[in-house]
Amino acid sequence: MDYGELIKKAEEAKENAYVPYSNFKVGAAVLTDKGEVYTGCNVENASYGASNCAERTAIFKAVSEGEKKFKAIAIVSSSGDFTYPCGICRQVIVEFMRDGEIILGNSKGEYRVYRTEEILPFAFTGKDIK
Ligand SMILES: O=c1ccn([C@H]2C[C@H](O)[C@@H](CO)O2)c(=O)[nH]1
Ligand SMILES: [Zn+2]
């Protein structure tokens, strides 16, 4: 599974975004340590705080199917520009991907790759709970 393939899966998931309030569609695809791919989109709610980002939808789908370790996550949005994960999603990404790749795709077919440590340095993790 290369970057392009994972981005394509995220693009497909983006089309299912439920975004009547922001009209901002996001799609994500996570690659597990076993080579499986799970996708997600953002799902909004009239009570805005009940909305869920695409990244967390994909991760929670995977975890609920028994997956606990990821190698990469691809993210795309309807802006056509690179879309970076929000703070809550960075925290959730770190929980299941201590050292992996965050791949951002834009509508020109370009991509940027970051490592977990770059997007959330000094992360609070399970090790900090004593
Ligand atoms: O990386 C991001 C950034 C935003 N959103 C969603 C949340 C909300 O539905 C909409 C606007 O913030 O985009 C995501 O899903 N992922
Ligand atoms: Zn988020």
Task: Write the DSSP assignment of 2-17 as a string of letters.
Answer: -HHHHHHHHHHHHTT-
- Estimate the share of the chain in helix, then strand, then coil, as percent rounded to the nearest 5: 35, 25, 40
Tokens 């791919």: give the residue.
37
Q: E strands, 33-96, where?
A: 37-41, 70-77
What pLDDT was estimated at residue 108?
A: 98
**80 DSSP 8-state letter:** S
53 pocket-lining for ligand 1 (C-beta < 6 Å): yes
- Record the pTM: 0.97
Task: Give dist(CA 126, CA 113) in Å, integer.
Answer: 25
Q: Which of 55, 65, 110, 118 is catalytic?
A: 55
What pLDDT was estimated at residue 130?
A: 87
What pLDDT was estimated at residue 1?
A: 82
CA of 96 to the centre of ligand 2 (A): 15
Atom of ligand 1 nearest to the CA of 43: 9
User: Domain map of the chain by residue range?
Assistant: 3-128
What pLDDT was estimated at residue 42?
A: 98
What pLDDT was estimated at residue 91?
A: 98
Question: Mean pLDDT, to the nearest integer, of 25-39?
Answer: 98
Calculate the average pLDDT of the chain. Answer: 97
CA of 93 to the centre of ligand 2 (A): 10
22 pocket-lining for ligand 1 (C-beta < 6 Å): yes
What pLDDT was estimated at residue 119?
A: 98
- Respond yes or no: is residue 55 known to be catalytic: yes
Inter-residue contact 101 to 72 (CB < 8 Å): yes
**50 DSSP 8-state letter:** G
Q: Domain 3-128 adopts which CATH fold?
A: Cytidine Deaminase; domain 2 (3.40.140)
Task: Give dist(CA 20, CA 61) in Å, integer.
Answer: 22
What pLDDT was estimated at residue 84?
A: 98
Question: Mean pLDDT, to the nearest integer, of 62-91?
Answer: 98
CA of 22 to the centre of ligand 1 (A): 9
Listed residue (52, 7, 4, 46) closest to 29, CA to CA: 7
pLDDT at 32 over 90: yes
What pLDDT was estimated at residue 29?
A: 98
